[in-house]
Structure 1
Amino acid sequence: MKVLRLLHRWTGGLIGLLLALLGFTGALLVHEDAFLRATTPHAADAQRQDAATLAAMATKVFAAEDRPRSIVLATERMGLHKLAYKAEERAAYADQDGDIVQSWTSNWARPEIWIFDFHHHLFNGDAGEIVGGIAGLAGLGFVTTGLILWWPTRRMFHVRLWPRSMKRAAVVHHHRDLGVLVAPLLILSLTTGAAMNLKWFSQALRAPFSPPAVMERASAAPKLKGGALAKDLDWAKAIGQAQTRFPGAEMRTISLPQKKGGLIAIRLRQQAEWLPNGRSMAWFDPATGAMVASRDAQALPLGSRIANLDFPLHAAKVGGLAYRLVMTVSGLTLTLLGTLAVVTFWGNPSGSPRRGRGRPPRRSIARG
């Protein structure tokens, strides 16, 4: 138990601050749509999904001289389209008629963008993504060892939002009890976060349901070549075919070919899919607008369908306001636990009780 206690203390002292920052930024991102609706023109507009509106918007946006490479379409909670360009950090918000509302060339220009970049990439691209995933695994170990260390003290359990005092003993007691109280939420957040960042971890979790090779094949894009992108592409035709292939599905993204011979890709979310942008796909020849392939997300291997639940559960994209509040509590609790872990550790790395600095009491001398 002593070794476990030391491992728990050092883990919290070394990565507690990172976990705290990930928890805090995650809690903020849960409410990204509400922030945009309150601060950005047209973000509160009602979603329009009819083929005519979508086709007119796509025609207008992609006809621009400096056209974007993809469009993430408006949702029920956020009425703006997001445009992504070839330049890595260049992007824009457009209303549902295709008019640019705001554009930027640096992630630092938009708070929701740089907060996401930190939360998912630690400002360091793929390398930061891996570090974040490892931090998530360390956090899982932190929760597990914390539960084991709490068990012998379970009779002293108390629910407190804040320590009764800032003395080390009171902080440690509060840390253990609060950690146990929210442990299921932390396990959910940390597991889904690590699975999204670390491919091998995600595959290991889904392997009992579907072999990784089977999932890879099922998720691969079709090996077909398309022609050159037509200047007058009939977007109404392409969008209509996608809606016919997946009746009742929500159109989510439209992407132009990224290289010569590539295909136009339209991504849709069927009603049974939890993932906000869905995993159902339709591919089109850029020269003619004819649909050449499709993929039904509901027909993917079981392991893939389980993996598609990671993001909506992690980012509270299901369950409405109630679940968003639950995941906000999870993020803020991780912030508090990580911060207090760092404070108590670096205030006393050894964990040994501190002796008072006063002089020892005088011994009484017996008189005879």
Structure 2
Amino acid sequence: MKWLDLLHRWTGGLLGLVLALLGLSGAILVHKEDWIALPHASDALVSDPARIALATGRLLPAPRGGEALIYASERFGLIQLRGPGDAGAYADQAGHIVTRWDSQWQRPELWLFDLHHHLFSGDAGETVIGIAGLAGVFFVVSGTILWWRTRRTFRWRLLPSRLSRPAILWHHRDLGIVIAPLLLLVTLTGTMMVFRPVAGLVLWPFSPPSAIEASLKPPKLASGPLAARPDWRAMIEQAQARFPDARLRILSLPRKPGDPIAIRMKRADEWLPNGRSMIWFDAATGRMLGSRDALDLPAGARMFNQVYPLHAAKVGGLAYRLVMTLVGLGLALLGSLAVWTFWFRRRAR
């Protein structure tokens, strides 16, 4: 137990601040659709393919390649236009621009997302987050084992009784055990999204990792060069006919010659907010090249597609969002106080 306690404290002292940042930013991002205060953000969702195609044509009058549209949803009534770089815009569902930006620093939801997913450091930051997620899983398991020895002294504490090192340690122990199941869910799902081998290990009983990876890769399809004026209406109507119960979520233009136009849809039984049902079109002619139904994927792949909605509270409505908000704030409190007591708040001699 002594070595487990030392490992728990030292790992927390080194990675606690990272987990605190992830918890706080995650708690804010859970509600981003509610605090993006822009005109038309609360508009009702438009589902008519003709109106969606008209808005698409207005936002992409002369497509160059690399652009993407994230269409409005039931919780957010604006379309997001993404350019090849950091530039982008929000538009109403008729295709009229509401606001533009040239850098992610001009939109708080964008830099918060980058902080939560990459620590402003790209792939290196994502690796650090994955390591912190693994450490979080270890904290839950080791903390539960260490708590069991002193379980008879448990007291419900939302905040430490005072800012002394013993009081903070008791609060850390008791608050940690209260939110341990949800902390395990958050840290494990976050790690699964960063480190695919971890996801493969967890989902192995349902599908082999190779089958999951193969089912999620886009197929190799040959496409002509991007047309100057693609027939958006024909493509959107074909996509809707292929999946009548689905909602259009993302339209992605080819990043390089030979790539097709991709439309991503969310079927009624999918949890993933942007869905994983895909349709590919020839960029030159608009002819449908292929499709993939997310509900026909192997069991492990379908379960992997449910990881993000569970992690980001994209299912369960307001009640689950509030629960995950409390978990994020609890993680921020546990991580920050752990770092403070480990490095700065030493017991008086």
Q: Same fold (TM over 0.5)?
A: yes
- Identity %, equivalent residues: 55
- Please tell me the residue identity of whatever aligns with 1:7: L
Q: 3-state DSSP class of the match of 1:274?
A: coil
Do the aligned partners of 2:62 and 2:229 also contact (CA within 8 Å) in 1? Answer: no
2: CA distance between counterparts of 1:78 and 1:65? 25
Q: Which amino acid aligns with 2:156?
A: V
Moved more, 307-316 or 158-167: 158-167
Picking from 59, 82, 85, the partner of 1:84 is: 82
> Corresponding residue for 1:270?
267
- Which of 248, 253, 278 is residue 250 of structure 2 equivalent to? 253
The letter for the 1-side match of 2:189 is T
| 1:97 correspondence with 2:94 | yes
Q: Counterpart of 1:360? A: none
Instruction: Name stretches of at least 5 consecutive residues in structure 1 with no aligned partner.
Output: 356-368
Is the aligned partner of 1:148 residue 2:145?
yes
Offset of residue 18 of structure 1: 1.1
1:92 to partner: Cα distance: 1.2
What letter corresponds to residue 17 of structure 2 in structure 1? L
Deviation of the 1:68 alpha carbon: 6.2
Equivalent-residue separation in structure 2 for 1:316 and 1:68 (angstroms): 29
Partner of 2:29: 29
Q: Number of residue pairs matched? A: 349
Deviation at residue 233 of structure 1 after TM alignment: 2.3
Residue type of the partner of 1:303?
G
Cα distance, 1:182 vs. partner? 0.2
Offset, 1:215:
1.7
Q: Mean alpha-carbon deviation: is it higher for 326-335 or for 228-237?
A: 228-237
Matching of residues 77-226 of structure 1 within 5 Å = 77-87=75-85, 89-226=86-223
Kept after mapping to 2: 8 A contact 1:61/1:67: no
Amino acid at match of 2:47: Q
Tell me if the contact between 1:268 and 1:281 (Cα under 8 Å) persists in the aligned partners.
yes
Give the 3 Å change call, closer, same or farther, for CA 92–68 of structure 1 in structure 2.
farther
- In structure 2, the partner of 1:74 is 72
Asked if the contact 2:65–2:255 (Cα under 8 Å) also holds between the matched residues in 1, the reply is no
Separation (CA, whole Å) in 2 of partners of 1:257 and 1:171: 53
When the two chains are superposed, the root-mean-square deviation of aligned CA atoms in Å is 1.4
Cα distance in 1 for partners of 2:170, 2:220 equals 58
Match of 1:330 in 2: 327
Give the 3 Å change call, closer, same or farther, for CA 117–278 of structure 1 in structure 2.
Answer: same
Question: 2: distance between equivalents of 1:8 and 1:55?
Answer: 55
Select 1:42's aligned residue among 17, 40, 43: 40
Residue 315 of structure 1: how far off its partner (Å): 0.7
Q: Is the 8 A contact 1:8 1:145 kept in 2?
A: yes
Contact 2:126/2:194 (8 A) holds in 1: yes
Partner AA of 2:184 in structure 1: I
Aligned mate of 2:53, from 46, 52, 55? 55
Helix, strand or coil at the partner of 1:60? helix
Written as runs of structure 1 = structure 2, the 5 A alignment for 1:237-316 is 237-316=234-313
How far residue 65 of structure 1 moved from its aligned partner, in angstroms, is 6.6
Which residue identity does 1:41 align to in structure 2? P
Give the deviation of 1:66 after TM superposition: 6.5
Which residue does 1:5 correspond to in 2?
5
Give the conservation status (yes or no) of the 8 Å contact 1:68–1:83.
Answer: no
Name the SS of the counterpart of 1:293 in structure 2.
strand
CA deviation string 1:24-47 (max 9, x = no partner): 0000000100011xx211111111
* TM-score, normalising length: structure 1: 0.92
The structure having more radius of gyration, on CA atoms, is: 1
Partner residue of 1:15? 15
SS in 2 for 1:226: coil
Once residues 284 and 240 of structure 2 are traced to their aligned partners in structure 1, the CA distance between those partners, rounded to angstroms, is: 20
CA distance in 1, matches of 2:163, 2:245: 56
Runs of 4+ in structure 1 over 6 Å off? 65-68
1:58-115 CA-to-partner distances (Å, cap 9, x unmatched) read 122221476761101011110111111112x111111111122111121111111111
**Aligned residue identity for 1:46:** A
Q: TM-score, normalised by structure 2?
A: 0.97
Greater shift, 239-248 or 320-329, is seen at 239-248
Q: Secondary structure at the match of 2:150?
A: helix
Query: Structure 2, unaligned stretches of length 5 or more?
Result: none
Pair 270,82 (structure 1): closer, same or farther in 2 beyond 3 Å = same
Which position in structure 1 is the counterpart of 2:228?
231
Q: In 1, distance between residues paired with 2:230 and 2:21?
A: 46
Which AA in structure 1 matches 2:14?
Answer: L
SS at match of 1:265: strand
Is residue 320 from structure 1 mapped to residue 317 from structure 2 by the alignment? yes
Deviation per residue, 1:213-257 (Å, 9 max, x gap): 212222222222111222232211111111111111011001111
User: Secondary structure of 1:232's partner?
Assistant: coil
Letter of the structure 1 residue corresponding to residue 50 of structure 2: A
